Amino acid sequence: MKLSIIGTGYVGLVTGTCFAEVGHHVFCVDNDAAKVKMLQGGGIPIYEPGLEEIVKKNVAAGRLKFTSSTAEGVQESDVIFIAVPTPPQPDGSVDLSYIERVARDIAAAMTSYKIVVDKSTVPVKTGEKVAETIKRYCAAKVEFDVVSNPEFLREGFAVGDLMHPDRVVIGVRSQRPVAAMKEIYTPFQAPIIVTDINSAELIKHAANSFLALKISYINALANICEAAGANVQEVAHGIGLDERIGRRFLNAGIGFGGSCFPKDLSAFIKISEQVGYDFKLLREVQRINADQMERFVKKITDTLWVLKDKKIGVLGLAFKQNTDDVRSSPAIDLCQKLLKDGATLRVHDPKAMAKARPLLPEKGVTYLNDMHAVAEGCDALVVATEWDEFKQLDLARAKKGLTHPILFDGRNLFDPAEMEKLGWIYKSVGR
Ligand code: NAD
């Protein structure tokens, strides 16, 4: 099929590429001219495992193209996906101005029947507004359908998630666009749920809020484990083997972050408020998450006492492993807190250092390409992101580099008994 994706970011680029990979012809559109130029020149603006190869392959096959013209994308395709940002506003509600802008641009370029699919995460009833907007701004007065098709990919695993989704949700107002949507997704061999638009939009916020809830639940349990002398990983294993609960998203740590969970949670609280329900449970999820970071910082200050003039090595800046995304990263938040208290930092991240630089002050932060160099001359080491390679840290070498063998592990990567045997002062979460 001939498709276009408006917004070529983490979602748009991976979605467009995977659509091309299964044989569709895709135009990826972005209004960031520099990004489009980079993509047209063979560059990839984000780090996502496995993405570069399939972008190159599909560009070479002539199935994947990039443009900064929405009109070109719209005219060249039957189905148009919207994958632009839906950032939070100061009160937690969603800024829908990007969606509205794109709806108007699509409307202006439409000269024949189109299916307009919202893939961005949006509040319930946004589909209605998109349909009203397109109708109002479409001078050619052609027919169209609006569809909600929320995206569930995880950064760091996005290609695999797109190629093998757990499910595909399609929200429609009429049956007309269903066959085309099914044709797009049939090659992915996933269960397809066809529902109404409002339900489809709610599914996305409900799913992300539930996952955030799971993380806050295990973090709250971690605090009980610490106080009671239990091990949260043992508890997570014990409850996670129950199929009704599941082991995933039960890793205690310094809390969730990233471009989705915090904003989607705030949005869902706001959406609930707007329809007359006070979703206090989700406010508590937010509170536990913020508290989790404070508790971790307190662990550091309880041990190091005064942070002024202390040198701290930080492993990890991305919001989670396998990505260069630092948007609302707990690791960045932690760095900022340590810097505010007067510490200087030596930091390393396998992929996210370039994107972290603009978020941290220039003074007081040294970026190192080698994770082993981080410990040199530091008073303590902190693990802030769960990159697998950090588990391979040469602990003897790190210990030699530090002035004192202190490790604060915000992601529970090491074994407490082992660390104690090796002579470390080791503080992790919930163990
Ligand atoms: P992003 O910031 O990485 O990408 C958005 C892109 O849209 C940018 O490249 C931007 O330049 C472009 N853009 C903005 N306005 C435009 C316009 N008028 N015309 C053309 N292009 C425009 O964002 P993202 O992470 O891909 O997220 C997009 C949406 O998908 C959001 O609603 C987000 O909540 C949702 N989502 C994100 C993820 C994720 O893991 N990142 C997962 C599922 C859903």
Q: What confidence score (pLDDT) does residue 198 get?
A: 98
Mutate to test the pocket of ligand 1, among 6, 8, 10, 203 (most ligand atoms within 8 A of CB): 10
What residue's CA is closest to ligand 1, atom 34? Answer: 121
User: What does the pLDDT look like over 384-395, one tens digit per residue?
Assistant: 999 999 999 999
Strand order in the sheet with 25-29: 64-67, 25-29, 2-6, 79-82, 114-118, 144-148, 168-172, 192-196
- CA-based Rg of the chain, rounded to a whole angstrom? 23
Q: How confident is the model at residue 409 (pLDDT cuts 50, 70, 90)?
A: very high
pTM of the model: 0.95
Locate the ligand 1 atom nearest the alpha carbon of residue 259 and give its number.
41
- Asked if residue 345 lies in contact with residue 314, where contact means CB atoms within 8 angstroms, the answer is yes
Q: What confidence score (pLDDT) does residue 25 get?
A: 98
Alpha-helical (H) ranges within 311-394 are: 330-340, 353-356
Catalytically annotated residue among 18, 225, 260, 335: 260
Locate the ligand 1 atom nearest the alpha carbon of residue 68 and give its number.
20
Mutate to test the pocket of ligand 1, among 259, 268, 271 (most ligand atoms within 8 A of CB): 259
User: What does the pLDDT look like over 152-181, one tens digit per residue?
Assistant: 999 999 999 999 999 999 999 999 999 999
User: What does the pLDDT look like over 312-327, one tens digit per residue?
Assistant: 999 999 999 999 999 9
Ligand 1 pocket, residue 10 CB under 6 Å: yes
Q: What confidence score (pLDDT) does residue 405 get?
A: 97
C-alpha 82 chain-centroid distance? 18
In the chain the domains, ranked by start, together with CATH numbers, are 2-190 (3.40.50.720), 230-427 (3.40.50.720)
Is the Cα dihedral 374, 380, 384, 389 positive or negative? Answer: positive
Unique residue bearing structure tokens 């949260």: 232
Determine the 3-state secondary structure of 148 from DSSP: strand
- Rounded mean pLDDT of the chain? 97
Annotated catalytic, 260?
A: yes
User: What does the pLDDT look like over 105-163, one tens digit per residue?
Assistant: 999 999 999 999 999 999 999 999 999 999 999 999 999 999 999 999 999 999 999 99
Phi and psi dihedrals of 235, rounded to 5?
Answer: -65, -45
User: What does the pLDDT look like over 16-38, one tens digit per residue?
Assistant: 999 999 999 999 999 999 999 99
Residue 93 alpha carbon to ligand 1 centre in Å: 17
Q: What confidence score (pLDDT) does residue 291 get?
A: 98
Determine the 3-state secondary structure of 382 from DSSP: strand
Ligand 1 pocket, residue 145 CB under 6 Å: no
Ligand 1 pocket, residue 12 CB under 6 Å: yes
Give the rounded percent of residues in the chain with a pLDDT score beyond 90. Answer: 100
Q: How confident is the model at residue 265 (pLDDT cuts 50, 70, 90)?
A: very high
If you average pLDDT over residues 47-68, what whole number do you get? 97
Ligand 1 pocket, residue 83 CB under 6 Å: yes
Would you state the torsion angle of the CA atoms of residues 66, 70, 74, 76, taken in this order, to the nearest 10 degrees? -40
Q: How confident is the model at residue 414 (pLDDT cuts 50, 70, 90)?
A: very high
Locate the ligand 1 atom nearest the alpha carbon of residue 45 and give its number.
9
Residue 41 alpha carbon to ligand 1 centre in Å: 21
Q: What confidence score (pLDDT) does residue 224 get?
A: 98
Q: 292: number of CA atoms within 13 Å, CB side?
A: 32
Ligand 1 pocket, residue 8 CB under 6 Å: yes
- Residue 8's nearest CA partner among 22, 59, 23 is 59
Q: What confidence score (pLDDT) does residue 427 get?
A: 98
CA distance 299 to 429: 10
- With residue 246 as reference, give the H or E element that holds it: none
What residue's CA is closest to ligand 1, atom 19? Answer: 31
Q: Which amino acid is at 382?
A: V
Alpha-helical (H) ranges within 257-381 are: 261-274, 280-304, 330-340, 353-356
CA distance 114 to 131: 12
Q: What confidence score (pLDDT) does residue 350 get?
A: 98
Mutate to test the pocket of ligand 1, among 6, 8, 11 (most ligand atoms within 8 A of CB): 11
Would you state the torsion angle of the CA atoms of residues 303, 304, 306, 310, taken in this order, to the nearest 10 degrees? -160
Give the rounded percent of residues in the chain with a pLDDT score beyond 70. Answer: 100
CA angle 265, 259, 32 (to 5 degrees): 135
